[in-house]
Amino acid sequence: MKGSCFEEANLLNVCQESIDYQGIVRHINDGVLILREGNIIFANGAFCEIVGTDLTGLLGKPFTDLVIPDDRERVEMHCVDKLYTSDLSNRIEFSISRPDEDAIVEMKLTVVDCGGGPAILAAITDITERRKTRIELQRVKDRLESILHALNDVVVSLSPTDQSILAINPAAEALYGIPRRAFNAGEMQLMHFVHPEDREAVSKYYRSLVDDEFGEMQYRIISSNGRIKWVHDEGHLVYCTTRAIHRLDHVIRDITEQKEALDALTRSEEKYRDFFQSTKDMAYSVTPDGTFIDINEAGIQMLGFADREEALASNLKDFYENLSERADLLAQINEEGFVTDKHIRFRLKDGRSIEVAITARAKTDDSGYLLYYEGIAHNITQAMEDQRNRVLRNAAGGMCHYLNTHLMHIVNAKDGIREEIESLEETAPSLPEETRETWSAALSSLNTYCEGLDLAYRKITAVTKAFNSAFLTYKEESYLDKAILDIFNSCLGDPLDCATLAPPAQEKGCGEMTHAAARHCRRR
């Protein structure tokens, strides 16, 4: 166009050939105008549409009047400088005032001859929507970057060819223990941190993403301080518009705490299951209404079930000898969450009654809803019997000690009377005849009294020895109240038998007497 001129302000005679350049200018979407001395001397319809006015209102008007005040001076200076500076940029962006909304435009300008003088030939493109889209894209980009920077998970993009890092967020610093710039500079690659024992499997996983397009894996890494961590890696294949592989995106999450907690829970469950099956006590879990959910072999044997299937089809409530004890037990568990060593009596399938100590707790969900009860029942029947026997033996020992104390008083009294009788017998011959008979009768009564004391002594001795034999020297065994009566009846029922069976304590054979009495008691 250089060297051409304009004969009329509304005509553009570029060439005289057959090509209709006027029609082209008239119908293109970009605005075209010519500025001379800063005024508009030509504008096509597209430009009129851009600025929102007709042609008659534009011709002869200063172009900068259309520019918003903030850009006006910059645009004016650029147009003037372009006339005298050939290497000045031929593009400039600014905003034009419009009635409804300012338009952001890009102007391409060049210097042409017009009417024998220089003029500006400009092409105006409305980039308002394009700029809005760009601004929105930038806003989305900034938002995404903000999210990526705030994430605790590592987000990294890798090259599909050499696995080099294209981009990585700051969370990598906490996970791997090195500055983010070390990754961006290409000094550190992810595979460098993978545990040596997992490196081959991880490399295979990364390579497979090209074909699988998505994958995930858990593996170990070693951070810069030497700490071993577990991570969960999710990889995605990202395509560009031509379906060519563009990059591999990975989200890497530190799951060390979850892994350790899960491993600890697994070990705990294994220990619990081992204890559940190996304990000699009944371990069980039941629904809130008492139906068995689980029970160990010891519990199956304790309650008398034929097998596990029969047990799981039964209800623990049916084994309580007194349902009021079950009500008290559940009330305490529901109130406190657990119960410890609660004594309960069970009636077994074979009809036997046993006493158990139950330690149990209520299992609830996060909202506090009751799921089930679980507990351990320890058979304390023999222990309680032994305890009662110990109480009985202690009582028997106390009674024997009490009897022996008074027995010594009887023996001493008897021996004193014997001595007095012997001394009085020496004086009997010297008494008058008329009193001697009375005296002899008195001595006979005293001798009879002493014989009674001696008999009482032997009977009490037999009782204490029988108690000692039955309750203090034998092993743990069951005793009834009747056993005490049997001892008394066997030793006190017939004084002659007692005298025969029980020689004085100081004589030999007393041990044989007591054992015989004890055996006699048991036979009865």
pLDDT band at 453 (very low <50, low <70, confident <90, very high): confident
- The pLDDT, as a whole number, for residue 22 is 67
pLDDT band at 522 (very low <50, low <70, confident <90, very high): very low
What number of H helices and E strands is found in the chain?
16, 15
| Arithmetic mean of pLDDT, 129-133 | 87
CA 114 to chain centre: 84
CA 325 vs CA 300, 328, 337, 361: distances in Å? 21, 5, 17, 16
- The pLDDT, as a whole number, for residue 241 is 65
| Arithmetic mean of pLDDT, 474-492 | 55
- The pLDDT, as a whole number, for residue 417 is 78
254's enclosing H/E stretch is: strand 245-254
DSSP state of 429: G
Q: Whole-angstrom Cα distance, residue 8 to residue 453?
A: 166
- The pLDDT, as a whole number, for residue 10 is 39
- The pLDDT, as a whole number, for residue 9 is 38
- The pLDDT, as a whole number, for residue 409 is 77
Average pLDDT, the chain: 80
Tallying the residues shown for the chain, one arrives at: 524
For residue 387, the one-letter residue type is Q
Q: Measuring CA to CA, which residue among 65, 64, 63, 55 is closest to residue 11?
A: 55
- The pLDDT, as a whole number, for residue 311 is 92
3-state secondary structure of 432: coil
* Residue 498: pLDDT over 60: no
| Arithmetic mean of pLDDT, 412-423 | 76
| pLDDT tens profile 261-316 | 888 877 877 777 777 778 888 999 999 999 999 999 999 999 999 999 999 999 99
pLDDT band at 492 (very low <50, low <70, confident <90, very high): low
Q: Greater confidence, 399 or 499? A: 399
In this structure, what token pair is assigned to residue 287? 């629904």
Instruction: State whether the Cα torsion 47-51-56-62 is positive or negative.
Output: negative
CA 520 to chain centre: 65
> Picking from 4-8, 246-250, 472-476, which range would have the lowest pLDDT averaged per residue?
4-8
3-state secondary structure of 231: strand
Give the DSSP per-residue string, 350-390: TS-EEEEEEEEEEEE-TT--EEEEEEEEEE-HHHHHHHHHH
- The pLDDT, as a whole number, for residue 220 is 94
Within a 10 A sphere around the Cβ of 401, how many other Cβ atoms?
A: 10
| Arithmetic mean of pLDDT, 406-422 | 76
| pLDDT tens profile 192-230 | 899 999 999 999 999 898 888 899 999 999 999 999 999
Q: Whole-angstrom Cα distance, residue 257 to residue 245?
A: 35
For residue 459, the one-letter residue type is K
